[in-house]
C-alpha cells in the first residue's frame, strides 16, 4: 500500500476540520476524493503535505510514518502536490519554475537536468515555452507547469488538487489523460481531488467522499459510477 491515512484529525486554530479520516491509496493507482465545498478536501491536502498540523492519527507513505515531519521532509520522502491555484511563479521562466520544483535535489545538477528532460518529454508544449515567463501561459499550460513542477522530485505519490478547474473541455480532457499516464506509464500513485465527478470516475480506481470532515464513502470507483442513486444521495 502506497499511502495509509489513519484516523486523521486536523484543522486550524482549535477547530477540527478533519475528524478521524481513514483511507488507503494502493500502489500504482488513482484515488479520487470528492466532496462539496467545505467538506475538508483542501484541509486534507494541507494535512497530507504538512502545511497544517496533525493533531491525531497518522499519515504513512510506503510504510514510513510522516506525521511529525516537515513539509520539506515529506517532499523528500516522496509526496508532491499540484495545488488548485497552480502555485507557479509568474515572473519566472517556465524552465526556472521547473527547476525550482526540484529544489530538494538541486545540488545534484545531473539528476535535475535528467528530470527536466523527462518532464518536458511528458509536456512538450512546455519545452516550446521554456524561456517564457509563466504569466504568459494559458490556464491549461499553467496547469501543465504546476504538475510538471510536482513531478520534478520524482515523487512516489502525487496529489492533484482540482486540476480541471477553470479549463476548457479540450484541456480538461488532456489533463485527465495525463492523470492516467501518471499511473499507467510512470507507475505513480495519485490522489485526485476533483469537482468533476463523472470524468474523474472514468480514470480513478478508488473513490473517497468527504462530508463535513468525515468519510461517507470509500470503495471502488466503478461502484460509485454505476450507482446513480448513491451519486444523487452523496452529491
Distance, C-alpha 225 to centroid of its chain: 21
185: alpha, beta or left? (left if phi > 0; alpha if psi -120 to 50): alpha
Domain segments of the chain as ranges? 1-77+189-235
Give the 3-state DSSP-derived string for the chain, with helices as H, strands as E and coil as C.
CCEEEEEEEEEECCEEEEEEEEEEECCCCEEEEECCCCCCHHHHHHHHHCCCCEEEEEEEECCEECCCCCHHHHHHHCEEEECCCCCCCCCCEHHHHHHHHCHHHCCCHHHHHHHHHHHHHHCHHHHCCCCCEHHHCCHHHHHHHHHHHHHCCCCCEEEEECCCCCCCHHHHHHHHHHHHHHHHCCCCEEEEECCCHHHHHHHCCEEEEEECCEEEEEEEHHHHHHCHHHHHHHC
How many Cβ atoms are within 10 Å of 187's Cβ, its own excluded? 10
For residue 112, give the C-alpha cell: 535535475
Between the two ends of the chain, the Cα-to-Cα distance in Å is 28
pLDDT score recorded for residue 229: 61
- The pLDDT, as a whole number, for residue 220 is 95
Q: What per-residue confidence (pLDDT) applies to 70? A: 95
Question: What pLDDT shows up at residue 231?
Answer: 62
C-alpha cell at 205: 480506481
Locate cell 467522499: which residue? Answer: 209
Are the C-beta atoms of 21 and 5 separated by less than 8 Å? yes
| pLDDT tens-place string over residues 136-166 | 999 889 999 999 999 999 999 999 999 998 8
For the stretch 47-80, pLDDT in tens is 999 999 999 999 999 999 999 999 999 999 999 9
User: For position 234, what pLDDT does the model report?
Assistant: 63
Sign of CA dihedral 185, 171, 149, 2: negative
pLDDT, tens digit only, all 235 positions of the chain: 899 999 999 999 888 999 999 999 999 999 999 999 899 999 999 999 999 999 999 999 999 999 999 999 999 999 999 997 767 999 999 999 999 998 876 668 888 999 999 999 999 999 999 999 999 999 889 999 999 999 999 999 999 999 998 888 989 999 999 999 999 999 999 999 999 999 999 999 999 999 999 999 999 999 988 876 666 566 6
Q: Exposed, middle or buried, 9 (CB in 10 Å: 0-12/13-18/19+)?
A: middle
- How is domain 1-77+189-235 classified at the CATH fold level? Rossmann fold (3.40.50)
Cβ–Cβ under 8 Å, residues 86 and 167: no
Amino acid at each position: 500500500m502506497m499511502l495509509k491515512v489513519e484516523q486523521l484529525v486536523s484543522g486550524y486554530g482549535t477547530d477540527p476540520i478533519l475528524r478521524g479520516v481513514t483511507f488507503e491509496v494502493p500502489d500504482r493507482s488513482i484515488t479520487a476524493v470528492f466532496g462539496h465545498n467545505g467538506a475538508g478536501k483542501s484541509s486534507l491536502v494541507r494535512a497530507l503535505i504538512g502545511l497544517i498540523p496533525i493533531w491525531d492519527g497518522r499519515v504513512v507513505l510506503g510504510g514510513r510514518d510522516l506525521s511529525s515531519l516537515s513539509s520539506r521532509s515529506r517532499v523528500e520522502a516522496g509526496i508532491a502536490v499540484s495545488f488548485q491555484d497552480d502555485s507557479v511563479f509568474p515572473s519566472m521562466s517556465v524552465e526556472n519554475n521547473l527547476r525550482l520544483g526540484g529544489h530538494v535535489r538541486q545540488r545534484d545538477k545531473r539528476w535535475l537536468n535528467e528530470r527536466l528532460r523527462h518532464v518536458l518529454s511528458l509536456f512538450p508544449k512546455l519545452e516550446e515555452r521554456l524561456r517564457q515567463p509563466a504569466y504568459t501561459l494559458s490556464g491549461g499550460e499553467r496547469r501543465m507547469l504546476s504538475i510538471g513542477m510536482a513531478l520534478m522530485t520524482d515523487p512516489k505519490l502525487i496529489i492533484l488538487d482540482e486540476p480541471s478547474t477553470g479549463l476548457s473541455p479540450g484541456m480538461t480532457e488532456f489533463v485527465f489523460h495525463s492523470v492516467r499516464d501518471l499511473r499507467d506509464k510512470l507507475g505513480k500513485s495519485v490522489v485526485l481531488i476533483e469537482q468533476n465527478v463523472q470524468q474523474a470516475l472514468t480514470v480513478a480506481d478508488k473513490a473517497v467522499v468527504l462530508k463535513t470532515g468525515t468519510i461517507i464513502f470509500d470503495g471502488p470507483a466503478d461502484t460509485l459510477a454505476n450507482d446513480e442513486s448513491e451519486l444523487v444521495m452523496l452529491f
